[in-house]
Amino acid sequence: MPELQVKKHIAYFKRNLMMFPQPYQEMDSERMVLGYFCLLGLDLLKALEEIREQDKIDWIAWVRSCRVAKRCDSIDKDVKGDAYYVGYRGGPCTMTPGNEQWDEPMLAGTLFAACNLLFLGDNPRSNTEDMKGIERFLQLCLCEDGRYRSNLLPGADEDIRQLYMAVSTATLLELKLKNVEQSLDYIKSCQRYEGGFGQTPGAEAHAGATFCAIASWKLLNKMIPEFRGKSLKKCIPHYDRLLRWLVFRQQSDGGFNGRTQKLTDTCYSFWVQATLSILGEIHLVEANASRNFLLEQTQHLIGGFSKVHGEYPDVLHSALGLFSLALHDDSKLSDVCPALCLTARFCPEEAK
Ligand code: GRG
In this prediction the ipTM stands at 0.95
CA dihedral 181, 238, 222, 218 (to 10 degrees): -110
Ligand 1 mutation target, pool 212, 311, 315, most atoms within 8 A of CB: 212
The protein residue with its alpha carbon nearest to ligand 1, atom 10, reads: 208
Whether the CB-CB separation of 108 and 51 falls below 8 Å is answered with no
pLDDT digits (tens, 9 = 90+) for 140-161: 999 999 999 999 999 999 999 9
pLDDT of residue 350: 76
The minimum-distance atom of ligand 1 relative to the CA of 165 is 8
Ligand 1 mutation target, pool 37, 164, 261, 315, most atoms within 8 A of CB: 164
Give the predicted TM-score (pTM) of the model.
0.96
d(CA 215, CA 299): 27
Whole-number Å distance, alpha carbon 197 to ligand 1 midpoint, is: 13
The minimum-distance atom of ligand 1 relative to the CA of 211 is 11
Asked if residue 164 has its Cβ within 6 Å of ligand 1, the reply is yes
Whether the CB-CB separation of 335 and 166 falls below 8 Å is answered with no
d(CA 219, CA 30): 25
Whole-number Å distance, alpha carbon 129 to ligand 1 midpoint, is: 33
What lies within 8 Å, CB to CB, of 215 at 6+ separation is 164, 167, 168, 274, 275, 278, 338, 339, 340, 341
The protein residue with its alpha carbon nearest to ligand 1, atom 9, reads: 161
Asked if residue 346 has its Cβ within 6 Å of ligand 1, the reply is no
Asked if residue 137 has its Cβ within 6 Å of ligand 1, the reply is no
Asked if residue 212 has its Cβ within 6 Å of ligand 1, the reply is yes
Whole-number Å distance, alpha carbon 55 to ligand 1 midpoint, is: 30
Whole-number Å distance, alpha carbon 227 to ligand 1 midpoint, is: 29
The protein residue with its alpha carbon nearest to ligand 1, atom 1, reads: 341
Asked if residue 341 has its Cβ within 6 Å of ligand 1, the reply is yes
Asked if residue 265 has its Cβ within 6 Å of ligand 1, the reply is yes
Ligand 1 mutation target, pool 38, 165, 167, 211, most atoms within 8 A of CB: 211
pLDDT of residue 21: 84
Whole-number Å distance, alpha carbon 265 to ligand 1 midpoint, is: 11
Whole-number Å distance, alpha carbon 66 to ligand 1 midpoint, is: 24
Q: Block means of pLDDT (10 residues each) for the chain, length 352 residues?
A: 94 94 84 97 98 97 94 68 88 72 90 98 96 96 97 95 98 97 98 98 98 98 90 96 98 97 97 98 98 98 96 97 97 97 93 79
The protein residue with its alpha carbon nearest to ligand 1, atom 29, reads: 262
Per the DSSP assignment, residues forming a β-bridge with 158 are: 149
The protein residue with its alpha carbon nearest to ligand 1, atom 28, reads: 258
d(CA 301, CA 294): 13
Asked if residue 208 has its Cβ within 6 Å of ligand 1, the reply is yes
d(CA 293, CA 186): 35
pLDDT of residue 74: 67
Among candidates 216, 222, 156, 157, which has minimal Cα distance to 187?
216
